Structure 1
């Protein structure tokens, strides 16, 4: 796929997502002149400890998308086993790894999967081992800390 083809694919996916966004999400370009960087505003799923929170994520598409996966990062701090706790907010999502990404995959599927891991973390693919261990063995403490972070960083009303 040429650079023009990649650009067309991105425009098509952006159009589909903005017209029919995944549940609890709003998608827009960070800068209208760059279709490779998207801002996602996501509400914490009701059935999760993140309910009531409003999270901002940054999706960056490589120049050779869809042959290379996008990167997705939480810019809102979140206490979660699959999101780095280093201020970068990088997500560990199997679908986004180079060896698992396939060109037919779509950004809508990435966003749906992101929402689903807020409900049910993937502990086998955790980037924050201590948080994953806490989730496994001391769930009440995990839930309490995650809710505190939602209140502190994600503007829970």
Structure 2
């Protein structure tokens, strides 16, 4: 395996030295481009008290292209599909090499706090959200309780 670029090493070190509240990202021992990520749902969102597992992978051409990020925890959100793929501008058209892993993870955490049914990836969820937002929020809370409850140590 090729040596890791300095940039990835620096970003990884920064994730440890300056942790982001509510977010952990730990590189896999087998592949230092693969991160196991945990994001806590924002307190004012239907995902509050949830702890979501994600995977983040840095492709060979990172930082010229965006990291690949996917939810592993099942989530009811208009911008995250059943496969855990995320509809987020910084992962697509608005990616810039100036962005970092932490910026991406903060953006995902912000997306949990502000679902956008007008730019959906999960069309069925977005439609539910538009038809009856309160009911959709309740489903999101139920799914969070069912699938994303924090593990007690």
- Relative to the length of structure 1, the TM-score reads 0.88
What does 1:31-46 correspond to in 2, within 5 Å? 31-46=28-43
**Is structure 2 residue 93 aligned with structure 1 residue 91?**
no
Name the SS of the counterpart of 2:33 in structure 1.
strand
**Is structure 2 residue 19 aligned with structure 1 residue 21?**
yes
What does 1:1-157 correspond to in 2, within 5 Å? 7-29=5-27, 31-85=28-82, 88-97=83-92, 99-155=93-149
Name the SS of the counterpart of 2:118 in structure 1.
helix
Cα displacement (A) at 1:41: 1.0
Structure 1 runs not aligned, ≥5 long: none
Structure 2 runs not aligned, ≥5 long: none
The structure whose residues are more often helix, as a share, is 1
Contact 1:94–1:125 at 8 Å: present in 2 too?
no
Cα RMSD for the two superposed structures: 1.7
Cα displacement (A) at 1:69: 0.8
Structure 1 residue runs of 4 or more that deviate by more than 6 Å after TM superposition: none
Structure 1 residues 31-40 or 74-83, which shifts more? 31-40
- Give distance in 1, aligned partners of 2:98 and 2:150: 36
- Give distance in 2, aligned partners of 1:119 and 1:17: 22
Contact 1:93–1:125 at 8 Å: present in 2 too?
no
- Relative to the length of structure 2, the TM-score reads 0.90
CA shift digits 1:43-93 (9 cap, x unpaired): 1111101111111010011011001111111100000011111xx211111
Cα displacement (A) at 1:36: 0.8
Cα displacement (A) at 1:130: 2.0
Name the SS of the counterpart of 1:144 in structure 2.
helix
- Give distance in 2, aligned partners of 1:140 and 1:156: 24
* Matched residues, number: 150
